[in-house]
Amino acid sequence: MSILVTGGAGYIGSHAVQRLLRDGRTVVSVDNLFRGHARAMELLKGAHPGRLTFVRGDVTDGAFVRGLLDEHRVDTVMHFAALAYVGESVDNPLEYYHHNVTGLAGVLRACEQARSPVTRFVFSSSCSTYGQPAPERIPVREDCPQAPVSPYGRTKLIGEMMLRDFAERPAARDWSCAMLRYFNVCGSDRSGLLGEDHTPETHLVPVVLQAALGLRPHVGIFGTDYPTPDGTCVRDYVHVEDLVDAHVRVLDAMRPGTLLAYNVGIGRGYSVREIIDAARRVTGRDIRVVEQARRAGDPPVVFNDPARISRELGWTPGVTSLDEMIASAWRWMLAHPKGYAS
């Protein structure tokens, strides 16, 4: 039996494909390559011959997904395929609802109609479903009220609702589902094969490293007067390989009839200035900073309480050092200054 990874050519999806292949599993990866990278799939095929099938296609086409499930006898789906820029979702909400909500509905319908039963489904959710947690809710636990403030966050919450309803069908006795709510993901595969390559790039760590490389003139700090030790926003950063490890652990923990939800973050926060200072240490380069006004909707502090995932899955982050996280991203960026096009 095979595992279908949707969005498998993207940043997190490609790292998940790599881990599954390393574990000896057979993987079918599907991606429309709007923001994913065919080169990542080529590299993984070369490193793991015979166990990876990559198909270019869109998960909003349910008949196409059904064909993949039947052809490859898929019993497990990891669903990463989604648009994932908060600001873009505000400008183009209908695109986000189409890809993130309609796309998930198409994949679930395909699972329901497939000839071979799909019994396990892992959904890429987000801490953005929590919106702006009240200070007394920090660190954030899984029972924190979910009140997203962006269309992107709302599409992820709707996705969770769809999965809960799907799991409660009378015919779903053998179905199991897990929803993983990520905090800020960073870093690169420590073998150097895969990395983070977005267009446009909005994630703080690669933005800072691009400034260190001279690929952008400066790093903007949006708000320096927050009630935090250095006045800048504080966030939880988790290494991409630790995030993928959480996916593997939850796969192994899933049993028929289970519906699981976990936050994935290291359990402490780093400020924007701490990220920049760590990047200066790691790269040995100066990084110009431009202080700017706050962005609407940015809470001062958000970080995870990892107690549930640690207790129930035995998951703990292997990388908690900010310098180590940034160093893994820096090594890949030095070798690939133009991303996968290098």
- As a whole number of angstroms, the distance between CA 317 and CA 239 comes to 8
How many angstroms separate the Cα of 9 from the Cα of each of 2, 43, 156, 321? 17, 11, 20, 27
Distance CA 87, CA 156 (A): 15
Which of the following is catalytic: 11, 96, 130, 152?
A: 152
CA distances (Å), origin 252, targets 29, 177, 199, 245:
20, 12, 34, 11
For residue 152, indicate whether it is catalytic. Answer: yes
Side-chain-facing half-sphere of 341: CA atoms under 13 Å: 5
176-182 and 120-126: which strand pairing? parallel
* Beta carbons within 8 Å of 312's beta carbon, 6+ residues apart: 253, 262
**Catalytically active residues, by annotation:** 152
